């Protein structure tokens, strides 16, 4: 395991693939020390080998486990001499389908990971963030946290909640010198697009996106936006042109947006 050695540091959950892994690559190229955390240990090892063991710290972390958070934060603090410039609360899962077809246990898991996992991370990391000048929390939300998304109802609800949490804590932590921002991607080419009603389901969201011709952005777009979220003055950072358009439409043209969503909604079988 590496040591930060005075470098700026970022703690990334969901770091084994997708936006988390690409963000680690982006920050590492900028000279940052990366903490990489995920339940996917083989995936973490691959990213560690790619970045170089001297440039990162890795450990298994289930964001629903407060014990895992305590252990991860403690070891990260040892590697960074008690500093954390950015907490990137990125881990998340999704389930796609009509709400009555998604098992309630799967909805519980989305809430536990996407929302409670973020809250767990904020509680656990706050001591390190407080003692790091100019520290920041970046929470991965979604365009589904701006526009209520059918067939992603519970996922959308968790992302609306993350958005609200971000806005509230950005004000609440202002006296502490800690900024809180969110990353709000459009559809990004990551494993989460393979979500179905359950894990391993045959019908995937990615199939429906292909059929509808919906725009899907490369993961690099989200990593660049994550960098901006860690440095910029705004609260929310949209990843992808369509995300920016959706935010505008939700604010100024809500009736038109609802009509478009209704027109694109598939019929129940």
Per-residue pLDDT tens digits of the chain, which is 269 residues long? 778 889 999 999 999 999 999 999 999 999 999 999 999 999 999 999 999 999 999 999 999 999 999 999 999 999 999 999 999 999 999 998 999 999 999 999 999 999 999 999 999 999 999 999 999 999 999 888 888 888 899 999 999 999 999 999 999 999 999 999 999 887 666 665 565 556 655 455 555 555 555 677 688 999 999 999 999 999 999 887 777 777 766 675 567 667 776 677 777 77
Q: How far is CA 90 from the centre of its chain?
A: 3
pLDDT value of position 199: 64
pLDDT value of position 148: 84
Distance CA 75, CA 77 (A): 5
pLDDT value of position 159: 95
Q: What share of the chain is helix, strand, coil (3-state, %, to 5)?
A: 55, 15, 35
pLDDT value of position 242: 76
CATH 3.40.50.720 fits 9-264, yes or no: yes
End-to-end CA distance of the chain: 52
What are the boundaries of each domain within the chain? 9-264
b/e sequence 108-117, b meaning 16+ C-beta within 10 Å = ebbbbbbbbb
In sequence order, the 6+-apart residues with CB closer than 8 A to the CB of 99 are 107, 153, 154
pLDDT value of position 202: 47
Cα dist from 195 to 45, 201, 205, whole Å:
24, 8, 6
The pair of structure tokens assigned to 137 is: 């929390």
Q: Which residues are catalytic?
A: 155
Q: 117-130 vs 153-172: helix axis angle to the nearest 10?
A: 20
pLDDT value of position 212: 53
The pair of structure tokens assigned to 172 is: 């609440």
Give bridge partners of residue 10 from the DSSP assignment.
Answer: 34, 86
Helix (H) or strand (E) holding 61: none
pLDDT value of position 263: 73
pLDDT value of position 5: 81
Evaluate whether 23 touches 90 at the Cβ level (below 8 Å). Answer: yes
pTM beyond 0.75: the answer is yes
């Amino acid at each position: 395991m590496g040591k930060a050695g005075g470098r700026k540091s970022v703690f990334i959950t969901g770091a084994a693939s997708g936006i988390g892994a690409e963000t680690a690559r982006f920050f590492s190229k900028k000279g940052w020390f990366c903490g990489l955390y995920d339940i996917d240990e083989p995936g973490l090892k691959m990213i560690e080998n790619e970045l170089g063991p001297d440039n990162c710290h890795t450990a298994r972390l289930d964001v629903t486990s407060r014990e895992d958070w305590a252990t991860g934060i403690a070891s990260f603090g040892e590697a960074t001499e008690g500093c954390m410039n950015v907490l990137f609360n990125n881990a998340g899962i999704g389930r796609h389908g009509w709400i009555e077809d998604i098992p309630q246990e799967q909805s519980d898991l989305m809430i536990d990971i996407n929302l409670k996992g973020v809250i767990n991370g904020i509680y656990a990391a706050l001591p390190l963030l407080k003692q790091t000048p100019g520290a920041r929390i970046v929470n991965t939300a979604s365009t589904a946290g701006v526009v209520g998304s059918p067939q992603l109802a519970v996922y959308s609800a968790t992302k609306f909640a993350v958005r609200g949490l971000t806005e509230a804590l950005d004000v609440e932590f202002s006296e502490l010198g800690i900024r809180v921002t969110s990353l709000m991607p459009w559809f990004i080419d990551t494993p989460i697009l393979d979500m179905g009603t359950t894990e391993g389901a045959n019908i995937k969201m990615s199939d429906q996106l292909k059929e509808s011709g919906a725009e899907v952005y490369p993961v690099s777009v989200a990593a660049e936006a994550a960098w901006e979220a860690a440095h910029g003055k705004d609260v929310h950072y949209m990843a992808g042109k369509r995300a920016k358009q959706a935010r505008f439409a939700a604010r100024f043209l809500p009736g038109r947006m609802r009509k478009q969503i209704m027109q694109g909604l598939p019929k129940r079988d």
